[in-house]
Amino acid sequence: MKTNADERKTATMLDDLITPTLLLDRERLERNVRRLAARAEDLGVVLRPHMKTAKSVDVGRHVFPDGPGPITVSTIAEAEYFADHGYRDITYAVGMSPASALRAMEICRRTGVDLKLLLDTVEQADALADVREATGVTPSAFIELDCDDHRGGLKPDDPKLLEVADRIVAAGANLVGILAHAGESYSLSSPDALVKAAENERQAAVAAAETLRARGHACPIVSIGSTPTAHFAKSLEGITELRAGVYMFFDLVQHGVGVCTVDDIAITTLATVVGVKPEKGWVLIDAGWMALSRDRGTASQKVDQGYGLVCDEKGRVLEDVIVSQASQEHGILSMRCGSGKSMPDLPVGTRVRILPNHACAMAGQHDFYSVVDGERPRIEARWERIRGW
């Protein structure tokens, strides 16, 4: 007899999907992908998409219609998955530990992939010698640059920059370049500030590359990127490649930053109404933080979207209806404070779609995408995604 688990995999119509579940609008994905690909071409740089948002080779086929291109990943598990699906040029953009570097080089040895590491200390640089000896693979590594005090990396004028570069070479590894990420751009919201953040990221990376070249290091790759700065950079002179990930799907945080419209957002969680509390103006749905994620990234923006903005089953925004509270498997819909509107009639059994605050976080709560096209009721495909480390 067919189990519920079987049923989950065979639905062909939106109405037959078990909720909560993740939807991906293919047309919006393709539009977002085309937009940044065109920008990269205009700016004369290679686009190296970050696959940490999508985590899916099926999405990858739409990002690279002509076959696997250069990508960025956030875990060794992603590196291995994409390497096993034909990707040959991968940057692992999280600071290496001796253990993760060993695992990365084992993947290189097994699959032949060119998997580049990231580091910013002499200790990590020195460790590359052991990694090389243990695996017989010559590691390639970027030096991580800190352009805005956001996370890891060295400042462009830090004397350790040259020391780390020299130690990478001394360890018998390849120094492939400089990698910067303008993470602070996510907290901005005006075009002027975004243009400035992008230019700051560019200048920092170019300055660091010039310092390395003056010392005799070739520094062939000068890599920058974040979804906001990738969309607002005016010039990328001196830069060779651009990284971005969330641009494929976009989300309410990116909308708050000013990078996309709500109609660009390609993923939603489909949910079902399971209760009503008219005396409180509440509608309860079967999607809580386990399906939506705990991300409250819009809480610090001008418009707080709660745990997500609510759309009807076809994806049309129900204005000012948000998921105001979430527990593990319950979400509470209510009107945004001060909206002056009243809750639309959403009886038990009604389907709604919830737009994500943060696409990487919402998608991370699901194992597959049900692919749809706009308001059409048909499920075009079921795309797997991976997780774990």
Rank residues 32 and 75 by Cβ distance to a second copy and give the closer one.
Answer: 75
Rank residues 37 and 77 by Cβ distance to a second copy and give the closer one.
Answer: 77
Give the Cα separation of 276 and 293 in Å (integer).
22
Q: Closest distance between a second copy and the C-beta of residue 152, in Å? A: 5
How far, in Å, are 115, 221, 384 from residue 371 at the CA level? 30, 35, 11
Rank residues 44 and 275 by Cβ distance to a second copy and give the closer one.
Answer: 275
How far, in Å, are 4, 10, 11, 90 from residue 7 at the CA level? 5, 5, 7, 36
Q: Closest distance between a second copy and the C-beta of residue 18, in Å? A: 6
Q: Closest distance between a second copy and the C-beta of residue 53, in Å? A: 9
Rank residues 197 and 360 by Cβ distance to a second copy and give the closer one.
Answer: 360
Rank residues 321 and 361 by Cβ distance to a second copy and give the closer one.
Answer: 361
Q: Closest distance between a second copy and the C-beta of residue 41, in Å? A: 27
Q: Closest distance between a second copy and the C-beta of residue 184, in Å? A: 12
Question: Which residues, at least 6 apart from 67, have a Cβ–Cβ distance to it below 8 Å?
Answer: 86
Give the Cα separation of 370 and 81 in Å (integer).
20
Rank residues 123 and 375 by Cβ distance to a second copy and give the closer one.
Answer: 123
Rank residues 206 and 284 by Cβ distance to a second copy and give the closer one.
Answer: 284
Rank residues 240 and 334 by Cβ distance to a second copy and give the closer one.
Answer: 334
Q: Closest distance between a second copy and the C-beta of residue 91, in Å? A: 13
Per-residue three-class SS string for the chain: CCCHHHHHHHCCEHHHCCCCEEEEEHHHHHHHHHHHHHHHHHHCCEECCECCCCCCHHHHHHHCCCCCCCEEECCHHHHHHHHHCCCCEEEECCCCCHHHHHHHHHHHHHHCCEEEEEECCHHHHHHHHHHHHHHCCCCEEEEEECCCCCCCCECCCCCHHHHHHHHHHHCCCEEEEEEECCHHHHHCCCHHHHHHHHHHHHHHHHHHHHHHHHCCCCCCEEEECCHHHHHHCCCCCCCCEECCCHHHCCCHHHHHHCCCCHHHCCEEEEEEEEEEEHHHCEEEECCCHHHHCCCCHHHHCCCCCECCEEEECCCCEEEEEEEEEECCCCEEEEECCCCCCCCCCCCCCCEEEEECCCHHHHHCCCCEEEEECCCCCECCEEEECCCCC
Q: Closest distance between a second copy and the C-beta of residue 13, in Å? A: 13
Q: Closest distance between a second copy and the C-beta of residue 168, in Å? A: 15
Rank residues 113 and 236 by Cβ distance to a second copy and give the closer one.
Answer: 113
Q: Which residues bind a second copy (CB under 8 A)?
A: 1, 3-5, 7-8, 18-21, 52, 74-77, 80, 84, 94-100, 103, 106-107, 110, 120-121, 123-124, 127, 151-152, 183, 272-277, 284, 286, 289-291, 293-296, 325, 327-330, 332, 347-349, 360-361, 364-367, 387-389
Q: Closest distance between a second copy and the C-beta of residue 234, in Å? A: 26
